[in-house]
Every structure is written in C-alpha cells, then in structure tokens.
Structure 1
C-alpha cells in the first residue's frame, strides 16, 4: 500500500505537501514530491518491490516526465522483456515498467497491465490518470479553480479545498485530450457450468495456485503476511506460498473467526 496525491494544472505545492502528510500511514518508508510545468505529484511509499531503489516519483526526460503509482503489476517482468528492450531503466520496480510502456504505447499501455493499481503520469504537456479494472486501489479527484486534484484517500482531498469529490471509476483512464476512456468492462457471465466435481475442483485449484503465485513479487527481505477471512483460506494460501517459495509466508497473520 502506497499513497499518491497530485494536481494537474497550476496548483499549490504547499497544499500538495499537506496532502502528502495525511498519507504517511499508507507509505511510511519513503516520500517524494516533484513539480512539473503542468502539475505537481506527491507520493508516500511502502517499499515492496525494489526496496532500496524504487523511490517515487520516478522521473525521465530531465524531470519533464514522471510517474507515481499505488499498487503492483504482476506481469511487469514479462512486459519489460517483450516490449521494452532498449529502454532505459533506473530501477527494478514495476512502476518504471508502466512509465516506459506509456512512453512507447501511450494510453493503450493501461490495458496491458495485469495488476491492481492507481497511477498518474506527467509527460510534458500530456498526462494520464488510471485505475485498475475492478477498482482494488482507491483514487479520488476533484477540481478547485480549474485545477484537478487527486488522491488515494478522501482525507487528503479535504485539504485540496475542491467543490466536490468523485471516485475515479474502475477500468478507466483519463487524459486531457480524451477525458475518461473505458479500457475494461467485466465480461458477461458464461452460461456454461462445470457439472463434474473433479473438473470443477481442478479448475478452482489451478486458478487459485496461479493467483497466489503471481502475487509473490516482493523483495526477499519483505515478509509475507496473509490476511483472509477464515482459517481454511489462510492455511491454503500459506501452504501454496511455501510450495512456490520455501522462504515465503513464514509469517502468516489473520483475523480471528
């Protein structure tokens, strides 16, 4: 969990700094603020991937291009290998992969991401805000005197002094040129059902293991905690984490009941 705040337009840097202060609990390991010609980005970081080198905002083009992100991209290594050969990387973080994908593909890069995220990119005079397909990561926005403010939490938005706060819609991105664009919608339910218990069990097991495996992205020094409702779910996740990586999930936490 990290925290992002910012503004698009001629905003107030002191206001952004106060907004960042309210999100310390979301990112106690690091914080950063950068002022672009077209806006200001702020970030608080809970270090998980590239613990030592993943400071944000991540900047390119002499500070004219940059990104802040809250979330994780599960397929970032595959995307970097397939599409970003020759692009410069200053970190080993998944966030920098988003930035370089955007530099190559523009807004179409958002639909390529498999993960949970809310992020903002400034690229000269252009910008983009985006939220993951089903809205796992929070994002809010509002306007004050023509300036767009955004944040991971409503508490920070209260400092922005906007007239009205809206939740950024899931499965959408927003640019200055196109406004809100939907890049994902929940697919319709397939009427076909598995009636054979063995086939259904196999499909559930394979999907479950695949889901657990792709989420084990943290650097080795980051402990793995499992928090689920129900002891059986915790035990299943922990067991499969250990099978995938014998060093992971040696610490398991959960709520009682």
Structure 2
C-alpha cells in the first residue's frame, strides 16, 4: 500500500516532487522517483510484501520499463510462476504486474486480481496507468495541454490544477496514444441471478458455497510479510472476517490482533469485546470522548476528502482507530462491501425495491459507486496513518458468488433479519445473539454519530461557522446541518475542486 504520482508529456519535475511530498503519509517507509524521457514516476512506500527488496519504481532486467503501484495483487505468485527463472528481481507483487503487461500488452491488466493503481513508463516513451475494477485503490488525474498528471489523492495536486481534477474511472487503463479505455466492470456484466428462488429459504449446499467463498476471500487477504489485524466493530460483517482470520492465524500458532473504537459503553465496544473473547483475539479498545470526536472532525473531513454526513460520521472514529492500530500492525481487514452484496442497508428493504429485480439492480449500482464513498473513506482514514486496509467481501470471486444468488433470498419476508443467508452460513462461528444482532451504521454504533449531529446543530445555529457556505451550481443541494458544516470544512481545504467531478452523495444518508 502506497502513494503514487505519475506524469507523462511535458513533465515538470519540481511539480511532481511537490505532489509526491503531499502523499508521504501513505508510504512513510521509503521514497522512490524516476525521470525518463517524457515520463516521471514517484512512489511513497508502505512496506508490506518483500520488505527489504521491494523498493519502487521496480524495473525489468534490461531496465527498459518501470512501474510504481499502490495496492496488492493477490494472484501475483500464480502470475510469476509462469516466468522463466532469473526474470524476477524481487518478490514484490507489483513486479508481477510489470511482467504481465510487458508480456501481454496493456490488456493484461485484466489478469490482475487485487486492489491496485499502477503506473508504468518505458524507455521508448511509452506509458500505462490502470486502476482496479472496483476502484478500491484511489486515483485522480489532470490533463493540461502537454502533460497528464496522476496521483493517489486530491490533496496531491497544486492549487492551479485543482479545477481540472477528475477521478480516474475504476476498471480503466490509460496510454498516451489511446487515452482512457475500460478493461473491466466493477460488477461483471455476466453476473445475473443464476437461479430464481423456488422457496423462501436455501439449503446447505448454498450455505456451504457462500461460506467457502467468504473464507477463501479472507485467506487471500492474509497475504503479508508484516502483521495483519482486523477492524472489529462488533457488527456482523467485521465479526465474520475476524472469526475467519483468527482461525487462520491460530493454525500458525499466532494470535490475531483486533481493534475497536467507540464512546464509553457504546454498542460497538460492548459487542466487539464479546466477539474478541469468543474468537480469542488480542483485542485493543480505543475509548473516545465527545471532546475527542469534536477535535478530530476537521481533520477527518480533510483526510477523507469528502463531506457526506454518512461518511464523516464513520470517518471520525475510523481515523482515531487507525491511529492506534498503526502502532501494532501495518495491515487491517474490514467488513466493507457485505451490505452491498447481501442487502444490509435498511433503504433497500422499502417498497421501492420490493421487486427482486429492482433490488438486484440497486445492489449492483451500489457496488459500482463504492469507490467514491465507503472505499474512499476507508482508504483515506487508514492510509493517513500508514495503515493498509483490505476488504475481503469485495473479492472478485465472492462478488460473483453473492450476486448469482436469487435476490429474493436477500429480502426480508415476515420480518426476517437482513443478511439472513450470510448469518446462517456462519452458524457456530460466533455467539448466536451476536450473529443475529441488528445492524447499526458504524458512526452510530460507535457513538460518534450522536456527538457529531449535536455539534453540527450547535455550530450551524451559532456563530462558530459564520454564514452558511455558498453551494456551487455543480454540487448537489446540502441536506442537513451536518452536511452544511462538513461542506464548509471541505470547501476550505479543497478550494477549486469540483464536487461533481470527484464525489457523490451517499444514498443512505
């Protein structure tokens, strides 16, 4: 996990150096830069795989092509196993991406299974930039006349470039000659409910299929040469991930570190402690006060580069948790994506989505939008403290498995709890009352939501914020005191950036 900057065309090395310096938090372990004719690559490294030998930019044996990358390529060993002996210069998963493209051309990025943003340059003036299909890893771009700039975060760009910043689309690649070309969709087009529900429930074969897919996804994300922990909110999704990971490390004679955050006595802290005791993890609690939540607000909005209330409520405790977790581990697993796969949000159980096909379409839409919402919040809050977050529920194979299920099974006939199929698949892995615990949004379960709502009402009604900020025509209408307050903070930090080009409102806010 790292921060990258890339430039192609009429490169200004000083500008590129400034941009990379603003991303130092994403990779505090090492800095690497490369300037070749018509291209510049920069890398801030958080050392996860091949700690001693993975310095970037990485190059081939002939030193005719170079690559920098942010993220993880989970199938890198399978990809490199096909290479002749002596070709590899490191054990880095990013080097697998370099050789895949050198051997298969730009289209070979479609063979990479993981979360990634990569940039390549070649001695003959060629270049390539690509982002993973789900958009787990961030990437932004600016084209200004004779130069195209790429960076991992909005904050990297100089003020004069900010009005032209756009999010680089997930599942796309860029080359100097062809521009931006899509190579994969977040949700594969062939994924449709493979079978219609004949009954209201499912059988053991289905439960085994779902459970095996989740377990395999967690195992893939345990790949690391450094310590791995789990963000444990006490909710269903992170509890399942923690239970699987705990079994995995126990087989190696190790104990899984887990991390929870909340105000004293909050529902998340209580539930997380019980899950941790059940799975035998080395549990760490971050108990925060209302004052600490208020103090972290401005930084949280700036860090996540977003002002949507649903994201900010989660970002504040997430940021405080990441700061403490980074003292113990460099990688954490999270439960992001399960609600989108298995219909966990309350709004999808309204009359609007009563038709199963409408529900399925909404789940697909929500997955396609994650890169600018929860994934953006998760990436920024962790990487701000040099911590890599991985999301097992967004594993490509698991996404296919979950979306091939009949959407009827994800509905709630007769008041059935949300995600009932997923809960039943993990019977015996968690205490029954926690396995069937009702859903709370992370910001609410941690206690931060109530603190922030009261703070926003006070500041907007009083003199703290001054006048209500003017909302540009290109931004969506602000919908609450919280959004007014958070937009004011965001505007102060990201003046000139078009909200509609880089952000979107959260559907459940």
TM-score by length of 2: 0.47
Aligned counterpart, 2:258: 252
Match status 1:13 vs 2:16: no
- Residue matched to 1:190: 193
Residues 174-215 of structure 1 show CA distances to partners (whole Å, capped at 9, x for unaligned) of: 112222221112224225246424233222211110100111
* Structure-1 residue corresponding to 2:115: 116
Match in the other structure for 2:316: none
Corresponding residue for residue 221 of structure 2: 215
- What residue in structure 1 maps to residue 43 of structure 2? 43
CA shift in 2, pair 1:19/1:242, >3 Å: same
Task: Tell me the CA shift for residue 249 of structure 1.
Answer: 5.6
- Name structure 2 gaps, 5 residues minimum: 263-267, 269-509
Listed as ranges, the matches of 1:84-233 within 5 Å are 84-86=83-85, 88-124=87-123, 125-158=125-158, 161=161, 164-185=164-185, 186=187, 187=189, 188-190=191-193, 192-193=195-196, 195-219=201-225, 222-227=226-231, 229-233=233-237
Query: What is the rounded CA distance, in whole Å, between the counterparts of 1:97 and 1:158 in structure 2?
Result: 32
Distance 2:236 2:261 in 1: 12
Greater strand percent: which structure? 1
The SS at the match of 1:226 is strand
In the alignment, the residues of structure 1 paired with residue 4 and residue 56 of structure 2 have an alpha-carbon distance, to the nearest angstrom, of 10
- CA–CA separation in structure 2 for the residues paired with 1:249 and 1:45: 27
Over the aligned positions, Cα root-mean-square deviation in angstroms equals: 2.0
The alpha carbon displacement at 1:60 in A equals 3.0
Q: Does the Cα contact within 8 Å between 2:232 and 2:258 map onto a contact in 1?
A: no
1:69 CA displacement: 0.3
- TM-score of the aligned structures, taking structure 1 as reference length: 0.91
Q: 1:168 to 1:155 in 2, by over 3 A?
A: same
What's the offset of the Cα at 1:52? 1.1
Aligned position for 1:78: 78
Map Cα deviations across residues 150-183 of structure 1 (whole Å, 9 max, x no partner): 1000000235736501111111111122222211
Deviations, residues 31-84 of structure 1 (Å, cap 9, x unaligned): 111101121111101110111111111123654410000000111001111x32
Contact 1:129/1:175, CA 8 A, preserved across alignment: yes
SS in 2 for 1:43: strand
Q: Alignment length, in residue pairs?
A: 254
Q: Distance in 1 between matches of 2:58 and 2:144?
A: 26
SS in 2 for 1:206: helix
Whole-Å separation in 2 of the counterparts to 1:122 and 1:134: 24
Answer with 182-191 or 241-250: which moved more. Answer: 241-250
Kindly state the Cα deviation for residue 12 of structure 1 after the two structures are TM-superposed: 1.1
Q: Distance in 1 between matches of 2:216 and 2:159?
A: 41
Gaps of 5+ in 1: none
Contact 2:249 2:256 in 1 (8 A): no
Are the counterparts in 1 of residues 67 and 121 from structure 2 also a CA contact under 8 Å? Answer: yes
Structure with greater proportional helix content: 2
